[in-house]
């Protein structure tokens, strides 16, 4: 048998004949004539080299090969049917767990709204937040280590956009943001204009998921033949915000994150004296989950919470 030339519609006929054990009833279920069902079975017999069914006084009886083949055909048709017309997910009566990878800034901005929505719906779902140690989560999603990755992933999103319909990962914009310089209210620069010279002269706290001692701010400064003095590197935005309330350090945070820290009253926000690209927070997932009802339901909840957050005014 050459599978590439096999008419897969014949498998639908075979499935119904096996289920009904009667050509007439199978034809009715398929909205076909009995001669058309008989002809389809004949073609499948020729392709598989087996009689598949033999006539009896009450209908048809499957051959051993047909008995062995049918569970595989039924399972494949069920998977295809679910992909095309998936069943609804009932979050109030079905338990499901999801792994979301995101930085603490994204979590603090999104999770209050998301969890409030889930509780209001009475959803029997659990969410596990995994830390991000990279700005390129494609490997995590490809290997199935997480269900969603949320954050600012410029390299990954650019690569996926260039691949178009061939990309195995999906992405959707959640909200836009910008980086700002943050310091404590009694910092020597708090009441002055933050010039490039002042910015480079000051001591800095760097947020680095990977632990590298430089980031995109340093790359932008290098393009201007400038540099800054980094005296502390941490892997969480919240830690950075907490530290700068107690020390004369500058740090760079997403603007929308600052109110979520609960420390906004102790901090001063200033525009950066260098040009940086805006932050485009995205959610990424693997295409293998496109038609999974539970996964699709959670995607809708994430998008709804993000849309609500995006409508809120930026401090």
- Convert the pLDDT of each residue in 105-141 to its tens digit: 999 999 999 999 999 999 999 999 998 888 899 999 9
Res 164: pLDDT: 84
Handedness of CA 231, 234, 238, 243 (dihedral sign): negative
The lowest-confidence range among 102-116, 143-157, 252-266, 284-298 is 284-298
Alpha-carbon span 268 to 157, nearest angstrom = 32
Strands (E), 241-314: 250-254, 267-270, 279-286
Better-predicted residue by pLDDT, 121 or 29: 121
Of 177, 130, 133, 134, the C-alpha closest to 156 is: 134
Angle, CA 201 vertex, CA 197 and CA 207 arms, to 5°: 110
C-beta of residue 129 within 8 angstroms of C-beta of residue 204: no
Identify the residue with better confidence: 315 or 245.
245
Average pLDDT of the chain is 91
DSSP reduced 3-state for 87 = coil
- Distance separating alpha carbons of residues 281 and 175, to the nearest angstrom: 5
Of 44 and 164, more confident: 44
Helices assigned H by DSSP within 31-135: 34-48, 64-84, 104-121
Distance CA 190, CA 262 (A): 19
Overall average pLDDT of the 230-246 stretch: 95
Q: Given a cut of 80, is residue 165 above it in pLDDT? A: no
pLDDT for res 200 = 97
What confidence score (pLDDT) does residue 298 get? 96
pLDDT of residue 213: 86
What is the arithmetic mean of pLDDT over 57-74? 89
**Residue of higher predicted confidence among 136 and 29:** 136
Overall average pLDDT of the 188-215 stretch: 93
Nearest to 274 by CA among 175, 173, 204: 204
Instruction: Report which of 194, 190, 139 is spatially closest to residue 168, judged by C-alpha positions.
Output: 139
Q: Above 70 in pLDDT, residue 58?
A: yes
pTM above 0.75, yes or no: no
pLDDT of residue 59: 86
- Asked if pLDDT for residue 315 goes beyond 80, the answer is no
The pairing of strands 229-234 and 279-286 is: unpaired
Three-state SS letters, 184-200: ECCCCCCCCCCCHHHHH
For residue 223, pLDDT over 80 is answered with yes
Model confidence at 151: pLDDT above 80 = yes
- Least Cα distance to 127 among 160, 163, 91 occurs for 91
Q: What is the mean pLDDT of residues 73-87?
A: 79
Name 268's bridge partners: 183
* Pairwise pLDDT comparison (217 vs 211), residue with the higher score: 217
> Which domains are delineated in the chain?
3-84 (1.10.10.10), 100-173+279-311 (3.40.190.10), 179-270 (3.40.190.10)
Say what the pLDDT of residue 95 is.
87
According to the model, what pLDDT value does residue 2 have?
66
Q: Is the pLDDT of residue 193 over 80?
A: yes
pLDDT of residue 236: 93
Q: Which of 138-142, 157-161, 310-314 has the lowest mean pLDDT?
A: 310-314
CA distance linking residue 237 with residue 281, whole number of Å = 15
Q: What is the mean pLDDT of residues 272-296?
A: 91
* Residue 149 scores a pLDDT above 90: yes
Q: Listing from the earlier edge strand, what are the strands of the sheet with 203-207?
A: 229-234, 203-207, 250-254, 179-184, 267-270
Give the percent of the chain with pLDDT over 90. 68
């Amino acid at each position: 048998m050459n599978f590439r030339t096999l008419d897969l519609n014949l498998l639908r006929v075979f499935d119904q004949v096996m289920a009904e054990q009667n050509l007439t009833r199978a034809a009715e279920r398929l909205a076909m004539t009995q001669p058309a069902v008989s002809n389809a079975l004949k073609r499948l017999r020729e392709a598989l080299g087996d009689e598949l069914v033999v006539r009896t006084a009450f209908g048809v009886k499957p051959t051993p090969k047909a008995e062995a083949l049918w569970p595989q055909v039924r399972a494949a048709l069920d998977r295809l049917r679910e992909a095309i017309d998936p069943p609804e997910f009932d979050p109030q009566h079905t338990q499901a767990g999801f792994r979301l990878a995101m930085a603490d800034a994204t979590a603090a901005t999104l999770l209050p709204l998301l969890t409030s929505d889930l509780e209001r719906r009475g959803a029997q779902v659990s969410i596990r937040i995994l830390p991000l140690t990279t700005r390129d989560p494609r490997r995590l999603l490809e290997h199935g280590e997480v269900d969603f990755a949320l954050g600012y992933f410029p390299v990954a999103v650019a690569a996926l956009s260039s691949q178009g319909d061939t990309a195995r990962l999906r992405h959707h914009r959640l909200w836009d943001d910008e980086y700002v310089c943050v310091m404590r209210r009694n910092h020597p620069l708090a009441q002055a204009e933050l010039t490039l010279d002042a910015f480079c002269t000051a001591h800095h706290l760097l947020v680095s998921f990977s632990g590298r001692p430089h980031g995109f701010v340093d790359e932008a400064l290098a393009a201007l033949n400038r540099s800054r003095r980094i005296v502390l590197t941490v892997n969480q935005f919240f830690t950075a915000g907490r530290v700068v309330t107690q020390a004369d350090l500058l740090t760079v945070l997403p603007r929308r994150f600052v109110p979520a820290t609960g420390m906004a009253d102790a901090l001063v926000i200033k525009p950066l004296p260098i040009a940086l690209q805006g932050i485009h927070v995205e959610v990424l997932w693997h295409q293998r989950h496109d038609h999974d009802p539970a996964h699709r339901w959670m995607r809708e909840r994430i998008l709804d919470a993000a849309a609500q957050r995006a409508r809120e005014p930026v401090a």
